[in-house]
Amino acid sequence: MTNGVIPAGALSVVNFHPTWGDKETNKASMLRYIDEAHAAGVRMIVFPEMALTGYVSSSDPESAAYRMAVSQAETISSPITRELADKAAATGMWVIFGTSERIPGDAEHAYNSAFAASPDGKVISYQKIAPVEGS
């Protein structure tokens, strides 16, 4: 990036259909997309909202969707997040992806978050105002 401008061809936005509730399969797809983008000279790749888990929104704590989002929630230092961050560092790319995020001390809820892994492997997250559960 020069002067805060991303050159043409250096940004990739990925639209794929994640396998709902299967983080390992989704992570494997994301790692392949990152490799392809890196080979094409991409410097920043952006995956969809909830790309790691598959999209979910529910206000019913008894629903499968709600339980999946909470049970599969990640942190900025969890193993899958670290694997994606290590790939960002290995390729020198920014990798931005959506996932549900654990709320410290709260096993009943999760944030709908965007994680950003920098080219040096550091990860930050942005939590949406509304949690995963919708209302």
* Residue 45 Cα to chain centre, angstroms: 11
What domains does the chain contain, in order, with CATH numbers?
11-120 (3.60.110.10)
Q: What is the pLDDT along the chain (135 residues), one digit of tens a residue?
A: 556 677 778 999 999 889 999 999 999 999 999 999 999 999 999 999 999 999 888 888 899 999 999 999 999 999 999 999 999 999 999 999 999 999 999 999 899 999 999 999 999 999 986 655 555
Interhelix angle 23-39/79-91, rounded to 10 degrees, is 10
Residue 97 parent element (H or E): strand 94-103
